A and B are shown apart, each in its own frame.
Chain A
Amino acid sequence: MIVEHAFLVGFSKSFGLFYLIALSVAVAIHAMKPSNKQRFDEAARSILRDEAEPWR
C-alpha cells in the first residue's frame, strides 16, 4: 500500500493538529468535574502517614 505524501501531510495538519488539544480538554473536564473532587482530595492525603496507626 502506498500512502501519498499529500495525504499524510493533510492528515497531520488536520487531525494531528486537534486531537491532542481535544484530549487536553477531556483531561481538564475529568480533573475539574465536581463529583471527582472527593476522590482527588483523598488521594492527595493518602500519602501522609498517620504516626499512630498503619496507613488509613
Chain B
Amino acid sequence: MSLDMFIQHLFNALTLGSLYGLIAIGYTMVYGILRLINFAHGDIFMLGAYFVFFGVTLTKLPWGIAVILAVALSALCGIVIDRIAYRPLRDAPRISALISAIGVSFFIENLGLVVFTGLPKPVYRPDWLVEIITLGNIRILPLALIVPAIAFALVMGLLWIVYKTKPGLAMRSISKDIETTRLMGVSVDKIIALTFGLGSALAAASGIMWALRYPQIHPFMGVFPGFKAFIAAVLGGIGSIQGAMIGGMLLGLIEIMAVAFFPALSGYRDAFAFILLIVILLMKPTGLMGEKLEEKV
C-alpha cells in the first residue's frame, strides 16, 4: 500500500472514529450517571439525520438552519424519552430501565418505518462539502477534514460544560453518588435531563454528519453505529468523555485499516468491534480509561 493510500485511509478512519466518538459520549454520560445502557441513543442519531432531511425537503429551510433545528429537536427527543420512559424507573431494578430502553428503541425504529417508510432516502449535501480536494496525490473530501474538526470542537465545548460550569459539577457529583447529590440540594432530575439533552445533541450532530458522509438514510441506520459506539464507550472506559472519544477513534481506525490491509476480511467488518470489545474486556474489565470498581459486600 502506498503512503498516499494510507493517508487517505487514515482520514477515513479519523472521520468514522469521530462519528463513533460523538455517539459514544452520549452513552458514556448516561451510563456514568444512571448505570443505564440507553439503547435508544442510536435512534436519536437516526432522528437527527431525518430531521435535517425533512427540514430541507418539506419546509424548504436553508440547510444551516435545518441542521441547528434538527440538533435542538433531537436534544428535546432525548429529554422527552428520559422523562417518559426512564424517570419513572429510577428506583426500579436496573433491568427494568434497560428493557424500557430497548422498548423505546424499537418504538422509534418502527415508528420511523411507519412514518418515513423503509425506503432509503437520498440526502442533500451542500456542494462545498463534497468537492474533492487534491493535495499532491491525496484525494479527500472536505468532509474528512471538517468532521473531525467539528467533533473536536464539540468535545471541547462539552468538556468545558462538564468541568467548568455548575451544572457540569452537578453532573460529576451525581455520577459519584446520586443520593448525596440530591441531599446537597441539587435538582437531580433537571441535571439528568440536561445530560440526556447534551448527549442527544451530540448523537444528532453525528447522525447529520454520518448522512453527509454516507448519503442515504433509513429508519434502522442507527442500530449498528449505536452498538459500535456503545462498544467504543466501553473500550474507553465507561463514564469517561475523553475515553469515549479515544474508544471511538480506535474503533474507526481498526475497522478501516483492517479492511484496507486485509480486503478478504471485509465481510467480517461488523464483527471487529465485538471481537475487540471481548478481548479488551477480558484483559481489563473496566475499559482502557475506566476506574477500577471494588466489589462491595
Q: Answer whether A and B are interacting partners.
A: no
Which chain B residues have a beta carbon within 8 Å of chain A's beta carbons? none
